[in-house]
Structures are given as C-alpha cells and as structure tokens.
Amino acid sequence: MRRFARPIIGAVALWFLAGPALAATEPVMTPCPETRREEIVEQKFGEAVADPYRWLEGDVRSAPEVAEWVKQQNACSRALLDALPERAWFADKIAKLLDFERFSVPEKAGNRYFFERNSGLLNQNQLYVRKGLEGRDRLLVDPNGWSADGTSALDAWKPSPDGRYVLLSTQEDGSDWRRLEVMNVRSGDMLPDRVNWAKFTSLAWIGREGFLYSRFPEPEEGQDFQALNYNQAVWFHRLGTDQSEDVQVFATPDHPERSHYAEVTHDGRWAVITSAVGTDARYEVHVIDLARRAKEGWAARPLVTGFDNAWNLIEGSKGGLWFMTNKDAPRFRITAIDLDAAQPKWIDVVQQSDETINAASLVGGRLIVSYLKDAASRALIFDFAGRQVNEIRLNGLGTAAGFRGKPDDPETFFSFASFNRPSGIYRMNLATNETVPFILPKLTFDPERYVVEQKFYTSKDGTSVPMFLVRNRAAAARGQALPTMLYGYGGFDISLTPGFSAVRMAWLEAGGAFALANIRGGGEYGKEWHDAGRRANKQNVFDDFIAAGEYLKAEGITTPHGLAIEGRSNGGLLMGAVTNQRSDLFDGVHAAVGVMDMLRFDRWTAGRYWVDDYGYPDREEDFRILRAYSPYHNLRPGTAYPWVIVTTADTDDRVVPAHSFKYAAALQAADPAGKPHLIRVETAAGHGAGKPTDKVIDEGADVLAFLAQATGLVPPDGTQ
C-alpha cells in the first residue's frame, strides 16, 4: 500500500503522495488555507466559550469571504483526493454496482399503478404509471431534463384517489423547500396549479377536488437557507385556483413553534391533523369530518391532546380511526376509535409485545403489522379483533417496507432488502395469502459471496447492543481480519435497519467489512431505547459506538489499524464526538452533514426542533451537557487525530454547512502537522435528499478512497 508522507509542519500544510508516480504526472500541490481566527469569547453560565470561526456562519452564496474559504478548502481537498491511488477503482465500482434497473413499491389509485423506476445510472428516478396489473408501463415524469446538473428532483408524489391526477412535490439543489404541481395522468399535461414554500409536508388529496398541504410563511429575501422555521400551517388548495386563494385549514398562531401535517383516510371521510412541538414522538391530533364540511367548514375536533405520546394514524374505515401509539406501551400498541358512536372510546386491537411495532396498515379487512426484532423486520397479519392469522415470510435479516393498500382491497405490495440484496418488490393477495415476486433486480454482483450476521456486544454501562456485520463469506469462515467501516446514528428515535447501498457494497467488493451498530438514541427497541440516548443520556450514544469499535478490534474482526467510521447528520455529530473522545481508537473518519456546534444549533432553519433530543443551549443544565461533548468545542490542540474527511453542501438548509465549516477549521488548527483533515463542500446537493446519481458516485469514490488509504484497504486490481 502506498502511503502519504507526513505533512509539512507549519501554518500552511501541503499533503502529497510519497514514492514513485501514482500517475504519469505528480499531483498538483494546493495549500490548505490557514483559517482566520477572531477573538470571540462569550460568558455562558460563568464559563468563557471561545468561538473563533463564527465568521464562517455566513451564507456561502452571499458572503464572499466564506465563499473564498470554501473555494480554497475544496481545491486543497481536491488535490489530495484526485491523487489517491484507489479513487478511480472506487468510482468505477460504485457506478457498476448502481447500474441495474430498480423500482419503488407501486401505489394503486383507481385502476392505475404508480411507481418510480431508474434504469441504472439516471441522476433522478422517473415516475411511471401502468393501467391495470398487466398493462403497459408509461413514463409520466422524467426529472432528468429539469436541470443541466441533475439537481432538480421529484421529491414525492401522490395520485388522486381515482388515479386521474398526480400531485408532484419537487425540490431544487437539495433544499428542504418544495414546490407542488399537478399533472393530468391521462394526457400527461401539467395543470396551471403551483404551490410554493411547502416544507415538511404530507400530500393529502380530498377526492379530486384539491389537496391539503403544509407550508411556512415565505421567508425574507436571502433568508430561505438560514432563517428559523416558525408558524407552519395546513392549507387547502382547490384545483384550478391560484395559491393566493388557498384556505388556511389549521394553524396555531399563539404557538408558532408547533408543526402540523395532514392526512386523509382512504374513504375520504376524515382529515387527520397531527401536531408536534419538536422531533419527539409526542403529538396532538385533531380530526375534520369531511362529510360535514358543507355545514361545519374546516372545524377541527380535538381527538388527542397534551403532547404526551406518539399517535400515528394507520387508516380510517366506516367511521373508525386506527392508530399506533406508545401511550402506556413504549414498544407501541394498536388502538381504534369509532367516532360515529354515541360515546366514542378507544379499544385496543393489538397489544404491545417484546418486539417494537414499526409500522402498520389496513388492507383488505386485515391489519398488517411490521415489527422490529433486534432491528430486523418481521411482518404479521391480524384480523380486526387482534387475532394473528398469518405471518409474511421474509428472506433472512433485512427490511420489509410498503404494505400500502385500501381497507376493502386485498392487494398490497412490499419491498424486501438487506445489506447484500437491493430491494425486490413483491405482490401479496390477502384474500388468498399468496405472495409472488413482482419485480426483482438483476444484480451486477453475487450476493451469496457475503454473509450478513448479527452480533451483540457490551457497552460501558453493561447494556447489550446489537450490531449487524457484513463481510466476505470465505473470509468470515477463516476468521480473517479485514479493514472495517463502522456506521452509526443514535438519535431522534430513528431505527437503522438492513438496507442496500452501492457505496457500501463497493467497500465490501474492495475486500473490506461493514458493520452497523444499533446504538441507543434510536428506536430499535422503542421509547426506552430512544430515551436512553438523548439529552442528559447522550453520552450513552458515544459510549455504545466506542464500545462497538473496541469490540471489532478485540474480536479480530477488523485489522489493528483498519477501523473506519462513518455517520451522517446526527451521525455526523456522533463522528465528531467519538473522534474527540477516542482519537486513538479510530483510523479513518467520515463526518457527513454533521451537527458540530452544539451551543448554536438552534439558531438556524430546522435546528430549533432538535432541542427534544439535545436540550436547550440557553438553559444551564442542558448547556453543561452540550458543552461537554460538542465536537467544535472539544477539539484539543496538540492531539493526534486520525484521518478525517468532513462532507457537506452549500445548499444544506437542514444542518447548515456552518457546522461543518467551523469544525473543519478548528480541527485543522488543532492538529496542523498531523494526518489529513479535509472538508469537501458539494454544490447544490443539500442535506442528501434528491442528490443526483453522478454526485453520489463522485462523493462515494472520494470518501472510500480516503478511508481505504487511512485503513490500508487495497482493492483488487481491476474490477471483479
């Protein structure tokens, strides 16, 4: 393996490749900029807190000095990344692994089936429609011609109940802002309807009359990528009218911090408005009887009040509403209420069990309930009395998703995927209990070469934590140690389950292993698992992840100096925190779109929602906790940090790029003569949703080549 020479010592470092040429010419040397520091020190609860890189909080699109810093950092990173010996191999391998036809789970409306398709390397998925189960597939929407760089995306879509129209949610440059438009399915023509400034919205048709959606007030000019999001409301748009005529259906002006989204039951009877105050699964629920709208208007009737528990709508049927809730059931139960009854009351249908209910749907007079069993999917079928009548057999450790349908139609579709298998689509008839493949991908690799296992290891406080491990079957049988990539998230009640990634598979094809740790803070074991990894308990998340790394090295699964780690968003925070706390344990780090400044995260866009998981920086008790692990504030000058690559995007309006800018600058200053510490700033890519395929390939090749260099992973010559 060719290695980097040690960087030149000094304020401005040059990183270069040692030894004979890796290419015909020597790599271009570009200085990494010495980031300007400002003497900003604030007193917070009696503690002096320095923030020397606050000037990097400026919007890169309107702050010339920030834009210049990004340009210089990208040039420095590009010089090193382009010279990495394995980058071309990874780019080629990822592209080949992505080059297969793939589909989404179909959604039926009327006699039409709607689904997404990608022939392989298209930057964006296309939307297709099929008339009848055996009909011909017809292209409806092709976002690939919307922009020259492929960054305009079809984010979401929803057919009207009769399949006559389809509502389209589009995004630009990866932003969270959405524009809503409507297409006539038969003709393929766009209606004149346009809705702007939708964000964090559902798409809910009311017959073919119009639709409900959520939006924020239009931000002030130049603030759409940074301003805090307040005063979200639910609106009704009637087809054929201008947005200025839209009717506000539900809002809480006295509580601007609350967010709201709308759903409509399949029978068209009920509009259900779910309200939240942050990211916690604690909701209030209001219902609007659409059958009485001519008389009562948009009168919203409170159904659940108090913001105490999760109440997730499953479906409505014949006056009844079905919900998943964690009220008195931290791993969830299913309950129903008949709102047409003289005295409506909640009736439990499916009780809590040892496994966490992950999702449920009402199809063909049955309840399909998806469970997480140690973070892998299991699906059971119940009748309306809560009696189990069947189990959907799944092919090993993986994730099943979909199961959409109608209460009076026995047809449903679902997908199943694992780390070594992309999603296959299956059709099920609940009347006959027959399940058949609908569309299975044609793969460009052999999934049987890899074994998917589940291990359990012990964290610092004695908690048993599950971990998925994927590696070459022959190497696993020999007990061979391999350079290993360890992934984690640990927050916001989000469960990490098995799924396919072409980038991860490229790491496996190069001879590495992949591990995913289901650390606390997620939802794998319900509310208690989440609570054990947030706010005052956040250190458990870091301890769990550190223990995963120690386990991989102690068990000889990874090589002694071959442990790479990766995390995104809240997982990027995880990367920064554990690298600070155990810089000796990890050999390569990828921190993507991370929350790095824990004392100012609540000042931008959606950051204010995150206080449920992190706490309030302006409250002393929470401040002490946040200050103790904030990645930006806990870098120690003179520490030997491992190889680190930070990735973000200039249009990320979820976790604004200032987090990554400030952290990268502080990391470079803390260890100026150490191993490479790069930042890679993508243009027009946002937080990740809608990222075009070519950008996925380019970023994946950069990151994997960087981590391979850090861990000693040497891909085979050529492609396999």
Give yes or no for a contact between 538 and 492, defined as CB atoms under 8 angstroms apart.
no
| Residues in a beta bridge with 182 | 167
Q: Is 562 exposed, middle or buried (0-12, 13-18, 19+ CB in 10 A)?
A: buried
The dihedral of CA 206, 207, 209, 215: what is its sign? positive
Which CATH code, of 3.30.750.24, 3.30.360.10, 3.40.50.1820, 3.40.50.620, is assigned to 41-96+445-711? Answer: 3.40.50.1820
Question: CB under 8 Å to 145, separation ≥6 — which residues?
Answer: none
Q: How far apart are CA 565 and CA 583, in angstroms?
A: 12
Paired tokens of 523: 């939802």
Distance between alpha carbon 246 and the CA centroid of its chain, in Å?
31
- Strand (E) or helix (H) holding 205: strand 204-206
Query: In the 8-state DSSP scheme, what is residue 150?
Result: S
Q: According to the model, what pLDDT value does residue 606 have?
A: 83
Distance between start and end Cα atoms, the chain = 19
* HEC secondary structure over 380-443: EEECCCCCEEEEECCCCCCEEEEEECCCCCCEEEEEEEECCEEEEEEEEECCCCEEEEEECCCC
* HEC secondary structure over 227-280: CCCCCCEEEEEECCCCHHHCEEEECCCCCCCCEEEEEECCCCCEEEEEEECCCC
Catalytic residue status for 569 = yes
Per-10-residue mean pLDDT, the chain, length 720: 25 28 37 89 97 95 93 95 96 96 95 95 94 95 87 90 96 83 96 92 95 88 70 95 96 94 95 93 96 93 96 92 97 96 95 96 96 96 94 90 95 97 95 93 91 98 98 97 98 96 97 98 97 98 98 98 97 98 98 97 89 96 98 96 96 89 97 94 75 92 98 75
User: To which residue do tokens 């803070």 refer?
Assistant: 521
Q: According to the model, what pLDDT value does residue 199 have?
A: 86
Amino acid at 216: F
Residue 117 φ/ψ, nearest 5 degrees: -140, 145
> Which pTM does this prediction carry?
0.90
Q: According to the model, what pLDDT value does residue 365 have?
A: 93
Q: According to the model, what pLDDT value does residue 219 have?
A: 75
Among residues 377, 569, 630, 660, which one is catalytic?
A: 569
Catalytic residue status for 255 = no
The torsion angle over the Cα atoms of residues 91, 570, 664 and 28, rounded to 10 degrees, is 0
